[in-house]
Amino acid sequence: MHPKNLSISDFDYPLPEEKIAVYPLKKRDESKLLVYKNDIISEDIYRNIANHLPENALLVFNDTKVIKARILFKKITGAIIEIFCLEPHEKINDYTIVLAKKNSVRWKCMIGGAGKWKEKFLEKEVTINDESIILKAALVEKLSDAYVVELSWNPGNFSFAEIIEHAGETPLPPYIKRKAEESDSETYQTIYSAHEGSVAAPTAGLHFTEEIFSSLKKKNIATAFVTLHVGAGTFKPVKAASMEGHEMHAEWIDVSTNFIEQLIENISHQIFCVGTTSVRTVESLYWMGLKTFVNPKIEFEKLRIEQWEVYDKETFARKISATDCLNSLFNYLIEKKLERLFIQTQIIIAPGYSFKIINGMVTNFHQPKSTLLLLVAAMIGKEWKKIYEFALTHQYRFLSYGDGCLIYKKLK
């Protein structure tokens, strides 16, 4: 069956509110770890994850960094208008450049209380290094699914990264029904976060500590890093009855040619991804490589992966190995004198998808009827119901601040 025809109701399960973790554990690596391998479920904690991974494996992490994307403006009347910065509105080649901008920026945003916004500008006072800055927001355009907002500040000598860090709040997911606290700025961030741009954390990585990385090294498990800036679309529920009616969110990936080399060197070993975002990034590289394999002169912008296109190319893809595709992509980037691949992917991984590179993944327990749950089901089939039922009946904590699992790809 083509994933377009999947009924989202088949990926529903009862999730009591008390099962949703509202706060993280004090020690990240003490979170519970469910291990699913060869149809067998076992239990442990994250601190011991190296014991459940094969020697010489490669573990891929998403090193994106969450920005304080939620900015609250208080009107004279006392009404609050929330501006949630999703992504830059302008064409971008690098998030670093956008976040370094001074004076003003235009971002695609969601707005809470948009009907109350009658003024030309909303204003907010921000203090940075004892200096007072006036931040203004102007509504530029209404899009089909969001708004374009111009944010400007005076004095304009601070970068947007500095402004949003001091003006915004940590964007906790909507199912964590509490206000963000100061501690969230640390706990809702992986210890290896490096590149700002996400409005949601790659939560599978929240459990990892320096002690875990040391244990991985002792077992000769290599680690590598990609960047996928997680958008708010990761929480977007599937409202259509069938998947054909759902538009998958597109996200920016940023990977180095060195990382692609690492994948090529480790393709004969087992490759695991930490988080669905890492999975989507690594698998997207196969399909981008396939495009360059078929057409070495392809325009760079056409490497972008659309929502359903990988399923249309599956018959042809079976003939081309991951090694050939990755080598082709690497050579394409070298020929263009590019050290990094910065582009969008809209890939949707759902039952019916054939994984090209990875052998398993580490992930949290996801919302019912979500594209994240579809990805889990793509990897282990209907067994997702078995492990979720086990987790629900064995006191596992769900969603972003909850526990997680290590799942091996189901052998066909």
The answer on 271 and 327 residing in a single domain is yes
Position 292 pLDDT exceeds 90: yes
Residue 182 lies in a domain: no
Report which of residues 238 and 308 the model is more confident about.
308
Position 235 pLDDT exceeds 70: no
pLDDT bucket at 405, cuts 50 / 70 / 90: very high
The answer on 249 and 379 residing in a single domain is yes
Placement of tokens 């360059």 in the chain: 292
The string of pLDDT tens digits covering residues 49-91 is 999 999 999 999 999 999 999 999 998 888 899 999 998 998 8
Mean pLDDT, rounded, of the chain: 94
In this prediction, residue 336 carries a pLDDT of 97
Domain boundary among 133, 168, 203: 168
In this prediction, residue 351 carries a pLDDT of 96
The answer on 242 and 269 residing in a single domain is yes
Average pLDDT over residues 295-318: 95
List the structure tokens of 369. Answer: 């009827």
Helix (H) or strand (E) holding 408: strand 404-408
Residue 178 lies in a domain: no
Residue 174 lies in a domain: no
Residue 177 lies in a domain: no
Q: Cα–Cα distances in Å, from 109 out to 69, 119, 147, 366? A: 9, 17, 5, 25
The string of pLDDT tens digits covering residues 6-24 is 999 999 999 999 999 999 9
The answer on 137 and 12 residing in a single domain is no
- Residue ranges making up the domain that contains 136: 69-168
The answer on 233 and 135 residing in a single domain is no
The answer on 306 and 214 residing in a single domain is yes
Task: Provide the whole-model pTM.
Answer: 0.93
By mean pLDDT, which of 190-194, 232-236, 308-312 is the weakest?
232-236
Residue 181 lies in a domain: no
The answer on 304 and 365 residing in a single domain is yes
Position 94 pLDDT exceeds 70: yes
The answer on 73 and 52 residing in a single domain is no
Position 239 pLDDT exceeds 90: no
Instruction: Extract the runs of DSSP E, i.e. beta strands, from 48-176.
Output: 58-62, 64-66, 70-74, 80-88, 104-112, 122-128, 131-142, 147-154
In this prediction, residue 410 carries a pLDDT of 82
Q: In total, how many domains does the chain have?
A: 2
In this prediction, residue 270 carries a pLDDT of 94
Residue 18 lies in a domain: yes
In angstroms, the CA 375 to CA 347 distance is 11
The answer on 42 and 11 residing in a single domain is yes
CATH (domain of 349):
3.40.1780.10
Average pLDDT over residues 20-35: 97
In this prediction, residue 412 carries a pLDDT of 60
Residue 217 lies in a domain: yes
The answer on 315 and 274 residing in a single domain is yes
Average pLDDT over residues 249-254: 89
Nearest residue to 305 (alpha-carbon basis) of 281, 330, 329? 281
Residue 398 lies in a domain: yes
In our burial notation (b when 16+ CB lie closer than 10 A, e otherwise), range 140-170 reads: eeeeeebbbbbbbbeeeebbbbbbbbebbbb
What is the sign of the dihedral through the CA atoms of 204, 205, 210 and 212?
Answer: positive
The answer on 88 and 118 residing in a single domain is yes
In this prediction, residue 234 carries a pLDDT of 67
In our burial notation (b when 16+ CB lie closer than 10 A, e otherwise), range 330-354 reads: bbbbeeeeeebbebbbbbbbbbbbe
List the structure tokens of 299. Answer: 């325009």
Position 361 pLDDT exceeds 80: yes
List the structure tokens of 227. Answer: 């960047």
The answer on 270 and 248 residing in a single domain is yes
Nearest residue to 48 (alpha-carbon basis) of 189, 216, 193, 182? 216
Average pLDDT over residues 369-375: 95
Domain boundary among 168, 197, 216: 168
pLDDT bucket at 188, cuts 50 / 70 / 90: very high
